[in-house]
Amino acid sequence: MPKRKMILKTPRYGFTLRRVWSEIVAKARAKYECPRCKKIAVRRVSAGVWKCRRCGLVMAGGAYEPLTQMGKKIVALYPPKDRMIEYPR
Ligand SMILES: [Zn+2]
């Protein structure tokens, strides 16, 4: 049996769709700063689930980026000290 080719799952037909897709995938695959250990080590586990590969913190976030535009507004309205968010070890 021949080796299986790796199939890239990109949208077909249309430059705009491909561009939007590549922007979203780049965001989803990037590493982000961990709010607990401040290292650039947070990666996407699945839709809305983000995990730090250094300290193991698992947190909820946006589907394709940890802090969405709406999330930033919420953080601006209610700073973390008001929300009493703690990141236990
Ligand atoms: Zn961390």
Separation CA 67–CA 75 (nearest Å): 9
Q: Residue 4 — pLDDT band, cuts 50, 70, 90?
A: confident
- CA 53, 59, 65, 68 torsion-angle sign: negative
Hey, what are 10's tokens?
A: 């990109």
CATH of 31-83, picked from 3.40.190.10, 2.20.25.30, 3.60.110.10, 2.40.50.140, is 2.20.25.30
Domain extents for the chain?
Answer: 31-83
* Long-range Cβ pairs for the range 39-42 (8 Å, 24+): 42/66
- Tell me what percent of the residues of the chain surpass a pLDDT of 70: 83
pLDDT tens digit string along 18-35? 999 999 999 999 999 998
Q: With 70 as the cut, is the pLDDT of residue 39 above it?
A: yes
Ligand 1 ion: Cβ-proximal residues, 5 Å cutoff? 34, 36-37, 52, 54-55, 57
Give residue 80 CA to ligand 1 midpoint distance, Å: 17
